[in-house]
Amino acid sequence: MPKTMTRLALLDKVRQSAPALGWDEKYPYLFGKYGMTICGIYDGWHWFEADNITDAARSRGRLPLTDASDAELLEMFAITQDYWLEKYKEWLERAEDKIKREKHSKPQTKTIMSRLIDAGYPRAEMANHETDLYVFATPVVYEVLEKYKQDTGISPVYSSFIDQVSGKTMLDIAWAYDPEWERKMGNNT
């Protein structure tokens, strides 16, 4: 047996619905009878209620929403739901198209670690602590970091320290050790 909605629940659903601006003019016999578009600092919809309807509004045939018949309430609810469903579908399609265009137009950005390897920095001279990558401070490393910043608009976060074994300066590049991220993400490829 289908579940039925009480009149109070239906009234609540209609109050929570958001008629499009101008529907008081488009549907004067329905939305215009029980509410109005408000324009100004705030653009939105206002439902007439027993405690907020003016005598001037009543003299123009406006009524509180509670005076609407069940059929009118159902019609208003159905119209708003259909309208917004179509809008959401349209917005979703636009967003998906934008994502597809961006995905195909922008090359995937290589990570700092993969850029260092491509630039010839020896993998054997890389170390880490968790996701932080440790490399010796060389001109190649600084060039890769600068190029990464230019390509992505993101400044790599790093600090320097002296390696206790070699006595050479090393960089601690935050969040740049790929294998740890792959492990954390469960992607051991």
The arrangement of secondary structure in 112-185, i.e. its CATH architecture, is 2-Layer Sandwich (3.30)
Instruction: Quick: pLDDT tens for 41-65.
Output: 888 899 999 999 999 999 999 999 9
Report the DSSP pairing between strands 35-38 and 44-47.
antiparallel
Under 8 Å CB-to-CB from 83, ≥6 apart: which residues?
20
Radius of gyration of the chain (CA): 31
- Measured in degrees and rounded to the nearest 5, phi and psi for residue 160 equal -110, 155
**DSSP code, position 42:** S
Q: How far apart are the first and last CA of the chain?
A: 52
Question: Is residue 189 over pLDDT 70?
Answer: no
Query: What is the distance between the alpha carbons of residues 189 and 182, in angstroms, rounded to a whole number?
Result: 7
Instruction: Quick: pLDDT tens for 68-80.
Output: 999 999 999 999 9
Which residues partner with 170 through β-bridges? Answer: 136, 161
Residue ranges per structural domain of the chain: 7-105, 112-185
Instruction: Quick: pLDDT tens for 163-177.
Output: 999 999 999 999 999
